[in-house]
C-alpha cells in the first residue's frame, strides 16, 4: 500500500491558540513544581502515610498508554495489517511522547530532578534486587527503542523496521508488566499484592492505549482536515471491546481471590470504604460497564460519536483504575504488627486535594500534548491529502505539499 506522509503546516489560528493554551498550562505546572521543590512534598498532599500521589498515578497511567500504543503500531510493521498503516507512525510517536511524560512524572515525584541521573547508575548506586531499579532499565531502554524504531520508519529500512517492531513489542510488554510487578510483588500492601497484577497491567495498557490512539487519530485527522476511513476506527473498537472484557475478567478474578482469603479486610475496605466510589464509578463504571454497553450496542457501535464516547470513558476509567490502586493501596494501614499499632499508623490515611497538585498534575498532561503538537508540525507523521480544490490552497491545517515532495512508505 503506497502512502505519502507529511507534516502539518501549523499556521492556522486554531493551531496557535492550542499551542498557546498548552504552553500556558505547562508553565503553570512548572511553577507549581517549583513551589513543591522549595516547600516540600507536603504541598502535593503526600505524607508519611500516603507517600504516592498524582505524579505516580500519572506516571503508571502514561506508561500504560504508551505501551499499548506502541504495541498497536506493530499491527502494520510486524503483522502486515496494511489497513492500519495511515495511523502507524502516529502510534509510535504518541508512544514516545507518553513514555517521556511518564519519566517527567517520576522526576516530579522524586522532588529533585537534578539527581535523576542516579536512577541510571545500574549495579553501582542501585540495588538491582529492587523492582524499581529493574524498571529503570526497562523505562530508559523503552524510550531509546521507541526513538530508534521511529527513526527506522522514517528511513524506510523495512527489514530493520520489522526487527525493531518485534523488539518494541516485547520490550513494551516487559515495561508494563514490570510496572505491574512493582505493585503486585509487594506482599506488605494487601491491596497491591497479586500474582496476576503484571498481566492485569499489560491488559489495561492495551485497553487504554487503544482507546487513546482512537481519540488521537480522530481528533488529528479532523483538525488537519484529512479523510479518515471510519471502518478503521470501527475495527479498532471491536478489538477494544474484546480487551475490555479480558481486563474486567482479570480484575474480577483478582478481587475474588482476595475476598476468598481469610485476610480480606483490605479488599473489603477498598470496595466499601471511603475510596470505594473511585473503584465502582470510575474503574468499573467508566472503564468496563458503560463502554461495553456502547460497543456492543447494535446502533452506537456503528456510530463514530458513540465509539468516541466509549473511548473517552475508557481513558477516564483506566485513570481511575490507576488512582484506585495508588492512593487507597497506600492509605490502608500496613499489617506489620496486627492489633499492636496505635495512633496514625493504625488508621487509614487521607489524601487531601491541594492547589499546588491540582495545577501541577494537568501540567504533565499539557506538556505531553504540547510535545505531540510540536511533533505533528515537524515530523512526517500523517498521510498526505489529495491536492485541495482550486482556490483553497493554504487554508487550515490540511493544506499539504504536493505528494511527490513527500516521502513514500
Let me know if residue 82 belongs to a domain: yes
Burial class (CB in 10 A: 0-12, 13-18, 19+), 141: middle
Q: What is the 3-state secondary structure (H, E, C) of 271-310?
A: HHCCCHHHHHHHHHHHHHHHHHHHHHCCCHHHCHHHHHHH
Q: Looking at the predicted structure, is the pLDDT value of residue 348 above 80?
A: no
Q: Looking at the predicted structure, is the pLDDT value of residue 81 above 60?
A: yes
Task: Give the pLDDT confidence score for residue 392 in this predicted structure.
Answer: 45
**How far apart, in Å, are the Cα atoms of 96 and each of 101, 143, 375?**
9, 6, 11
User: For the chain, what is the mean pLDDT?
Assistant: 86
Of 37-51, 222-236, 256-270, 350-364, least confident by mean pLDDT is 37-51
Let me know if residue 3 belongs to a domain: no
- Find, among 324, 193, 185, 332, the residue nearest to 254 by Cα: 193
Q: Which three cell numbers stand for residue 339?
A: 492489633
* Segment 110-152, tens digit of pLDDT: 888 888 777 777 777 777 777 788 888 888 899 999 999 999 9
CA 85 to chain centre: 21
* Segment 153-167, tens digit of pLDDT: 999 888 899 999 999
Let me know if residue 188 belongs to a domain: yes
d(CA 8, CA 374): 10
Let me know if residue 191 belongs to a domain: yes
Let me know if residue 346 belongs to a domain: no
Task: Give the pLDDT confidence score for residue 374 in this predicted structure.
Answer: 96
d(CA 391, CA 20): 29
Cβ-based neighbours of 338, under 8 Å, separated by 6 or more: none
Mean per-residue pLDDT, 169-175: 91
Q: Looking at the predicted structure, is the pLDDT value of residue 395 above 50?
A: no
Number of CB atoms found within 10 A of residue 154's CB: 16
Mean per-residue pLDDT, 376-393: 71
**How far apart, in Å, are the Cα atoms of 352 and each of 53, 54, 271?**
10, 11, 20
Number of CB atoms found within 10 A of residue 252's CB: 12
Let me know if residue 101 belongs to a domain: yes
Let me know if residue 374 belongs to a domain: yes
Let me know if residue 45 belongs to a domain: yes
Mean per-residue pLDDT, 181-204: 90
Task: Give the pLDDT confidence score for residue 293 in this predicted structure.
Answer: 97
Tell me how many domains the chain contains: 1
CATH of the domain at 128: 1.20.1630
Residue-range definition of the domain harbouring residue 54: 12-243+362-381
Residues facing 408 on adjacent strands: 4
3-state secondary structure of 390: coil
Amino acid at each position: 500500500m503506497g502512502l505519502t506522509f507529511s507534516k502539518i503546516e501549523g499556521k492556522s489560528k486554531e493551531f496557535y491558540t492550542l499551542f498557546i493554551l498548552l504552553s500556558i498550562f505547562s508553565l503553570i505546572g512548572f511553577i507549581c513544581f517549583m513551589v513543591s521543590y522549595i516547600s516540600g512534598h507536603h504541598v502535593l498532599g503526600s505524607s508519611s502515610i500516603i507517600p504516592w500521589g498524582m505524579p505516580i498515578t500519572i506516571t503508571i497511567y502514561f506508561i500504560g498508554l504508551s505501551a499499548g500504543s506502541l504495541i498497536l503500531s506493530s499491527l502494520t510493521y510486524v503483522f502486515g495489517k496494511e489497513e492500519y498503516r495511515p495511523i502507524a507512525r502516529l502510534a509510535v510517536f504518541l508512544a514516545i511522547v507518553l513514555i517521556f511524560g511518564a519519566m517527567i512524572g517520576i522526576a516530579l515525584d522524586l522532588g529533585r530532578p537534578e539527581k535523576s541521573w542516579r536512577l541510571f547508575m545500574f549495579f553501582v548506586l542501585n540495588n538491582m534486587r529492587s523492582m524499581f531499579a529493574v524498571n529503570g532499565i526497562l523505562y530508559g531502554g523503552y524510550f531509546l527503542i521507541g526513538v530508534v524504531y521511529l527513526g527506522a520508519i522514517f528511513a524506510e529500512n523495512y527489514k530493520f523496521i520489522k526487527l525493531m517492531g518485534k523488539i518494541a513489542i516485547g520490550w513494551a510488554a516487559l515495561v508494563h508488566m514490570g510496572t505491574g510487578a512493582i505493585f503486585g510483588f509487594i506482599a506488605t500492601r494487601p491491596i497491591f499484592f497479586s500474582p496476576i497484577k503484571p498481566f492485569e497491567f499489560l491488559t489495561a495498557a492495551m485497553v487504554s492505549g487503544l482507546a487513546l490512539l482512537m481519540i488521537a487519530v480522530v481528533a488529528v485527522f479532523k483538525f488537519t482536515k484529512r479523510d479518515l476511513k471510519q471502518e478503521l476506527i470501527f475495527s479498532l473498537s471491536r478489538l477494544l471491546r474484546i480487551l475490555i472484557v479480558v481486563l474486567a475478567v482479570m480484575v474480577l478474578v483478582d478481587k475474588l481471590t482476595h475476598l476468598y482469603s481469610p485476610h480480606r479486610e483490605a479488599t473489603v475496605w477498598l470496595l466499601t470504604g471511603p475510596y470505594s466510589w473511585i473503584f465502582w464509578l470510575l474503574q468499573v463504571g467508566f472503564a468496563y460497564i458503560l463502554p461495553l454497553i456502547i460497543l456492543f450496542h447494535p446502533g452506537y457501535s456503528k456510530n463514530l460519536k458513540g465509539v468516541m464516547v466509549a473511548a473517552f470513558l475508557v481513558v477516564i476509567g483506566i485513570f481511575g483504575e490507576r488512582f484506585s490502586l495508588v492512593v487507597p493501596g497506600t492509605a490502608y494501614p500496613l499489617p506489620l504488627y496486627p492489633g499492636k499499632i496505635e495512633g496514625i499508623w493504625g488508621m487509614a490515611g487521607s489524601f487531601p486535594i491541594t492547589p499546588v497538585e491540582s495545577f501541577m498534575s494537568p501540567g504533565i498532561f499539557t506538556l505531553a500534548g504540547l510535545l505531540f503538537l510540536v511533533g505533528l508540525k515537524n515530523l512526517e507523521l500523517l498521510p498526505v491529502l489529495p491536492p485541495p480544490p482550486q482556490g483553497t490552497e493554504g487554508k487550515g491545517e490540511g493544506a499539504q505539499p504536493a505528494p511527490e515532495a513527500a516521502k513514500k512508505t
